[in-house]
Amino acid sequence: MRAAGLLLLLGTLAAALPARGDLRIAASPEEIREGLRWSGGRLRVQGEAPEGDRIVVRVLGEAREETWVLKQRRGPFWLPGERVVLRMAPEVYLIQAEGPLRDLLLPEEAREAGLGEGALEKSLGLSGDRSHLASELFRQWKASGRLKVGEGGVSRSGGRFEAAFTLPARLPEGTLRVEAFACREGRIRERAAAQVSVHRVGLAAFLQKSARRHPALYGLGAALLALALGLLVGGAFPHGKGH
């Protein structure tokens, strides 16, 4: 009798606790196509999670090493000075969460998961005595739309959640990793991820690829195109002064 009661209690508890694998996300669109009319876009992330979880969604671009230069005053002028090498600089770093990250996650948990400006600072190699460079860099990235850490940008409706992201116009080709973190009591209980591919299409793709893969031919083509247009205009307006 006692054993049956214990089993019943365990069963009830198990039903009440969220099970692993109950966090799901989907990103829309799954493919971003950058043509000549591309000027940035919107990315919607929808998902399902147990109601007790607090959700954080992150959109992360591919990371690479970047070199920046710090402007310094020389006499009356602001001129390039110290070089700053960023170890792993993501193309975009966008976060939307149900509330402030500090309320949803313990600091060490956020750091470990790479969530928030502090974690980004560390991954860039700008922590410690170089953190003033990080704050300056982040100011610029925020202005260009490359970085955003939003609070309250995830809306909930029962077990469903949704977040929307504004993608900057300068979005290199590659893969965006979209991740959802289900948080409870300051810890990440579960993660789920989806991928969004970014492609240049049409003429924009052709021109960019030509400029990268065959730069001399591209340059010659660009020069000849301008020459042809110029001769066309010169022919169409034979009495113009031109120069």
Partner 1 sequence: MTLFLPVAGLAVHPLLLVGAGLLVGFLSGLLGVGGGFLLTPLLIMMGLSPAVAAASGTNALVGTAASGLLAHLRQRSVDFRLGSVLLAGGVLGGAAGTLWVRALRQRGSLDAVIVGLYVLSLGALGLALFSEGLLVRVKTTAEEGERAASVPGWVSRIPLPMAFPASGISVCPLVPLLLGALVGLLAAFMGVGGGFFLVPALTFLLGVPMRVVVGTSLFQVLFTALGVTVMQAWLNGTVDVVVAVGILAGSAAGAQVGAAAGRHLRGKELQIVFSLLLLALSFQMLNDLLALPRFFLVPAGGDR
CB burial of 145-178 (b: ≥16 within 10 Å; e: otherwise) equals bbbbbbeebbeeeeeebbbebebbeebeeeebbb
Q: Is 84 in the site for partner 1 (CB under 8 A)?
A: yes
Based on its alpha-carbon atoms, the radius of gyration of the chain, rounded to whole angstroms, reads: 25
Sign of the alpha-carbon torsion through 175, 32, 135, 106: negative
Q: Is 218 in the site for partner 1 (CB under 8 A)?
A: yes
Structure tokens at 183: 């948080």
- Distance separating alpha carbons of residues 94 and 164, to the nearest angstrom: 10
- Reported as type and span, the H/E element at residue 198 is strand 187-200
Q: Is 233 in the site for partner 1 (CB under 8 A)?
A: yes
Residue of the chain from 6, 10, 78, 185 that contacts partner 1 (CB under 8 A): 78
- Distance separating alpha carbons of residues 102 and 62, to the nearest angstrom: 25
Q: Is 62 in the site for partner 1 (CB under 8 A)?
A: no
| Selected range binding partner 1 among 2-10, 35-43, 105-113, 177-185, rule: CB under 8 A | 35-43
What is the per-residue binding string for partner 1 in 176-205, x denoting contact by CB under 8 A? ------------------------x--xxx
For partner 1, the closer CB: 74 or 160: 74
Interface with partner 1 by CB under 8 A: which residues? 34-40, 66-71, 76-80, 83-84, 133, 136-137, 139-140, 143-144, 169-170, 172, 200, 203-205, 207-208, 211-212, 215-216, 218-223, 225-227, 229-231, 233-243
